[in-house]
Structures are given as C-alpha cells and as structure tokens.
Amino acid sequence: MTVHTGLLRLETEGEGHIVDLTEGVLAVVLQSGVTDGVVTVFVTGSTAAVTTMEFEPGGVQDLRDALERLVPVARPGGGDYEHNVRNGDDNAHAHLRASLVGPSESVPVVRGRLVLGTWQQVVLIDFDVRPRAREVHVQVVS
C-alpha cells in the first residue's frame, strides 16, 4: 500500500462560504502518480465540512437555505444554543452544521481520474461566523 499526502490551504469568507476543491484534489492525485485507489479529503476544524454537490449558484443557495432551515443561526432575543451561552460565543450553528455534513469525503480514483458524476464536485463549506484560513488534507491511497 502506498500513501501520498497533499495539503490545500485557502482563505474563506465564513458564513456558509462554499469553495470548489475538485481541481486541487485532482492536482494532488496527479502528483501522487496513483492510477487506481482512493482519495480522502479532510478539513481540520470543527466549523467546516467537506461534501460533494453540483457546485453552481442555484445549488449553493439551495444548500445554504436547507441548512438554515435545519440549524438556524441564533437570533438575538429568540433563544440561543447552549454552546453560545456557556462560551459567550455566537457560532454554535456553525459547529452543528459542520457535524451534520461531516469533515471528509472519500472518492475512488480509477485510471488516474476522480470518479465523480458529470455535475459533481468536491467542496469545502465554511460555516464559521468570520473569515478563516483553512487547511484541507488530501490523502491518496493505492
């Protein structure tokens, strides 16, 4: 078994900012020389997530809206999350959204290519309440 590791570093805007990672992940796969295996994409931090989606403006907005319905931002005077109360914080929704989506995705690699659907991209979602410097670890295993 061979393991090749790469690191993607990026700046995000927070507040549900979604970034297409597909080209960066593919670059790590190509650099690894692996033709058949699996690539795992993992973001460090408890307020960001990695998933796959159709990365286009309508899909991005729909995902943001769905997550707002599932885990709304706490409104002033309208109750709050225990995390915010205990820590004097305002990003409990970010932690919960990241937990629901998850920090990683694994994608098969066949003949040196990512096995993704025509309209499917690997994306990072930053749920935090402020801009952040993010690190995404990419591991290719063959």
Q: What is the mean pLDDT of residues 78-100?
A: 89
Q: What's the pLDDT at 79?
A: 61
How is the beta sheet containing 37-43 ordered, strand by strand?
3-12, 132-141, 37-43, 104-110, 113-114
CB 92 within 8 Å of CB 83: yes
Domains and CATH numbers, the chain: 3-72+84-141 (2.60.120.460)
CB 41 within 8 A of CB 104: yes
Model-level pTM? 0.94
pLDDT tens-place string over residues 48-76: 999 999 999 999 999 999 999 999 998 76
- Mean pLDDT lowest among 85-94, 96-105, 124-133: 85-94
Predicted local confidence at residue 106, as pLDDT? 98
